[in-house]
Amino acid sequence: MRLVIARCTVDYNGRLSAHLPEAVRLIMVKADGCVAIHADGGAYKPLNWMNAPNTITDNGDHWIVANPKGEQLVINLLEVLHTAAHELGEDPGLQKDGVEAHLQVLLAESPESIEPGLVLVRREYPTAIGPIDLVCRDGAGGVVAIEVKRRGDIDGVEQLARYIERLHLDSSLGQVRGIFVAQSVKPQAKVLAEARGFSWIEVNYDELRGLKRDELTLF
């Protein structure tokens, strides 16, 4: 990973145009080619970014980040304050808690509980940015990527979007649609999922385990 703190301006040209005026920002370049521009605030979300795969051309005082879709991110470096590179090695991925991991197993055993006609292709389907919880085929033979969470928020929807981006690089899969599954999905996540063209569904963990509520009652 390469980290650069610089006074810079940033211009994005693609589906729309966006401009970040001069300011000091953190530029993060990940090993897979993903580039993200961060301010000193705003939690985890970058001000602008380009997901991999990208081609990065370093022209000294400015970088041009381009992807196969024809989008470009031009970073003009007015003053470089700090630069560093670190080898992070292979990441083991997010370790799910017990309920979330078991929920994934139960859904893999009965994908029809998500949507009638779904057939499991593989659990923990590998991609360059981490495994997809479930990949299935629907009744029409289409590929369906499924992200499973205990509590469904916008981070999970964004994660599903990144996975589907990777799957679209494999032309043999055809069009891939996404389903976001959780015990409870937050309103903001529902809106974002629908805006991205994904379905969402809330599932009952106890019902999937085949337990009735009275079996859980001591008195």
May I ask the CATH class of domain 98-208? alpha beta
* Distance from C-alpha of 106 to C-alpha of 109, rounded to nearest angstrom: 5
Residue 187: C-alpha distances to residues 19, 152, 154, 181, 201 (Å): 30, 9, 9, 13, 12
Bridge-partner residues for 43, per DSSP? none
Per-domain boundaries in the chain: 2-85, 98-208
Q: Could you confirm whether domain 2-85 is CATH 2.70.180.20?
A: yes
pLDDT of residue 37: 95
Q: Which residues of the chain have pLDDT under 50?
A: 211-219
pLDDT of residue 154: 94
CATH topology identical between 2-85 and 98-208? no
68, 53 Cβ separation under 8 angstroms? yes
In tens, the pLDDT along 8-32 reads: 999 999 878 899 999 999 999 998 8
